[in-house]
Amino acid sequence: MKISTKGRYGVRFMMDLALNGVNTNVTLKKVAERQGISEKYLWQIVTPLKSAGLIRSVAGPGGGYSLTRAPATITLHEIIDVLEGDGGLVDCLPASSVCSRSNSCAAREMWKDVEERIGRILDSLSLQDLVQKQLALRERESSNYVI
């Protein structure tokens, strides 16, 4: 499971929606401004997230994007899987045919174990966990202000 810019930005996009509330519509323009991501790139992120049923869109004035479920019920693994697909940590995991040694390779078995462990960690982390971390960082930053 390789995590590209699309996956990283997708997690930030979802966190931004979660910080604004499940039933609050947020425009791509606002997310792009807050997250420092181009609006054009965000379009490539919202399409698969919407197709997967993780977000919904509302057209017109007051429209935008919002989560379809509570942040505590959305795992980081779900988000990454939607945006990154079935790619493996190394090329031989999803397609053993890329290497003639795949069926008898200890390194491939080790990489498979690493990928499974990463998957379990991502399954254990919810979007709500990320939101709580973000709010704690904001609080810590604001308490460091000295006159």
CATH number at 35 reads: 1.10.10.10
**Highest mean pLDDT out of 89-93, 101-105, 125-129:** 125-129
**Could you tell me if residue 34 is inside a domain?**
yes
Give the range of the structural domain holding residue 63, as residue numbers without chain letter: 5-87+127-141
**For residue 102, what pLDDT is reported?**
76
**Could you tell me if residue 119 is inside a domain?**
no
**For residue 99, what pLDDT is reported?**
81
**For residue 51, what pLDDT is reported?**
96
**Could you tell me if residue 50 is inside a domain?**
yes
SS (H, E, C) the chain: CCCCHHHHHHHHHHHHHHHCCCCCCECHHHHHHHHCCCHHHHHHHHHHHHHCCCEEEECCCCCEEEECCCHHHCEHHHHHHHHHCCCCCCCCCCCHHHCCCHHHCHHHHHHHHHHHHHHHHHHHCEHHHHHHHHHHHHHHHHHCCCC
CA distance linking residue 135 with residue 77, whole number of Å? 21
pLDDT per residue over 6-59, tens digit each? 999 999 999 999 998 888 899 999 999 999 999 999 999 999 999 999 999 999
**Could you tell me if residue 97 is inside a domain?**
no
**Could you tell me if residue 112 is inside a domain?**
no
pTM of the model as a whole: 0.86
Structure-token pair, residue 40: 């054009």
**For residue 140, what pLDDT is reported?**
81
pLDDT per residue over 70-98, tens digit each? 999 999 999 999 999 877 777 777 777 77
Of 2-6, 14-18, 141-145, which gets the smallest average pLDDT?
Answer: 141-145
pLDDT at 69 over 90: yes
**Could you tell me if residue 106 is inside a domain?**
no
**Could you tell me if residue 134 is inside a domain?**
yes
The number of domains in the chain is 1
**For residue 36, what pLDDT is reported?**
94
**For residue 50, what pLDDT is reported?**
97
* 145 band by pLDDT with thresholds 50, 70 and 90: low
